[in-house]
Structure 1
């Protein structure tokens, strides 16, 4: 069934909007495919070519996604039309795969006034090019800590996507769908965007006010309001950990009650759970940034590098220095 002609096509000779998808090596297929499918279905539902797209890369031939499939690029890093919209698609090891050539190309196209966005971890690439300063952005939750450390001038959110002027970012996964549906609604109308969502069996369209991670009760599989409250406080205070007694007081219970709550539902003490949160952040920073081990320790609430190393080794069976070295060796292969 063909959707009614959208408002932007009521005039004669309306040109389709062109998207340039820049595939960064090891990009996440889901984010890219979700975005392209929205455009394809919009054309189908409108019965007209509203959108066109090209695949671009810092290569003359193929770019591989994280699942191993290879995609042939249509164009390399050439000069684009001023009306084009650039969406950089990122994935694993984004720092390693963000090349100087790509950064310089993004800066040049930004100076020419193009709309530029980053899907999934490519928010890092756009920020590294200096294009997100003073703007709101988001990135996949796994890269949130490292991004915040490296780009303090960016207003980092936990939204599924952000649009700030001519800059766009998404958190990865299916959040590309939410961004594209917003763009389609802005370009044409919500009726067309809803028709695209229906075709994709996408029943809950999220806005930039929705957060990317599941709620604490959903993540831990426990619906207990006081437990959720304490875990949220822990997650918000990694650099300067709060004592169990203060956590308990803020939640309106005794320290002993807090201990029992964690033992019953999470099979560990509050102190142990808090330590695991801090060590997880530390591992993300070691793997995703160039921060020194000492600075990583401080960012995760460890006043002593030796204490940090001891706790890290007990949890991950390796030292922070060896973890950093193993990561560097893997990326150099």
Structure 2
């Protein structure tokens, strides 16, 4: 006689879907790189990477790469091994080139210069830490741009790269997709990147736990970043756009506000920002909408109207085109991360957030 035993299925714990990172950074470490700015940048990402303090790469992710895929040594003598083969095209939001001793950055290989030019042409922002600005200068990426340079390097930098506008009193400069940081901790740069992609709360989390006060100038960082454009009328037009993100104004109104006509404004925008004014204004509106989705509980329609879109459908369409997902899914991912960690285990909400 055969006995049949009924096996009761055990409950299966819900597994959260993998969370799409909001900020992906590829670090390219040159030999004898300066450790401190790299550490400040990545530790800030670490605190913003999950809702708790497990140092898991959930909402922010990063890779370590070297020019030859072999271990290298920082200028302080610390050895470090790459975690990924060198790949500048792995869907990074930023490529960070970390320099240090000038002997390693004065004469970079031609293939690296060509690769960086291609990355910039693809509109992937590049961050140069410490003397990596010399690499970008040799690639021609600093011509006509402002560049933050360490005061000890200013004479040689000025001699080599006369087409760049050297700045020695800023911790970093963001000029149209090229970000230069002369050294220091780079924590204020990291906070600005996290604020832009992940929201003010997560940026503040890192600052608090790294015992750093938020720089006073961050309140005006967005307006300050506009000053990198050489054309005064373009700067004034952007300021007008920022002041009227919720208004359904035409480009004719923008042009009239800065004393020109739409066709001339279009030409000057393309020459200075590499995109038409309509695209630039829409990106400002969408960036503002992301901040509202992160930092408020307003519904989608309210946010759409607050950002100058005619209705929620129009807003959702452009948000999906820009960020690859709907505003609803963007906000929902954040709530899911508060309930589950990277492995799908339920965790408590972080009281600090």
TM-score bracket, normalised by the shorter chain, equals: 0.5 to 0.7
Alpha carbons of structure 1 residues 149 and 98: separation in structure 2 relative to 1, 3 Å: same
- TM-score, scaled to structure 1: 0.54
- Give the one of 98, 107, 127 matched to 1:89: 98
1:201 aligns with 211
The reply to whether residue 164 of structure 1 matches residue 170 of structure 2 is no
Unmatched 5+ residue regions in structure 1? 1-11, 211-333
Aligned-partner Cα distance in 1 for 2:20–2:52 = 13
Task: Report the Cα offset of residue 58 of structure 1.
Answer: 0.9
1:121 aligns with 131
Task: Report the Cα offset of residue 155 of structure 1.
Answer: 1.5
The equivalences for 1:1-333 within 5 A come to 14-45=20-51, 49-93=58-102, 94-96=104-106, 98-158=108-168, 159-174=170-185, 176-205=186-215, 207=217
Alpha carbons of structure 1 residues 87 and 79: separation in structure 2 relative to 1, 3 Å: closer
Aligned-partner Cα distance in 1 for 2:77–2:150 = 21
Higher-RCO chain (CA-CA 8 Å, sequence separation at least 6):
2
Q: Deviations over 1:161-210 (max 9, x none)?
A: 01112110112021x11111011111132232122101001125364899
Aligned-partner Cα distance in 2 for 1:178–1:206 = 11
- CA-based RMSD of the aligned residues comes to 2.4
Count residues in correspondence: 198
Aligned-partner Cα distance in 2 for 1:23–1:189 = 27
Aligned-partner Cα distance in 1 for 2:52–2:175 = 27
- Secondary structure at the aligned position of 1:109 is classed as helix
- TM-score, scaled to structure 2: 0.52
Task: Report the Cα offset of residue 27 of structure 1.
Answer: 0.3
Task: Report the Cα offset of residue 111 of structure 1.
Answer: 2.4
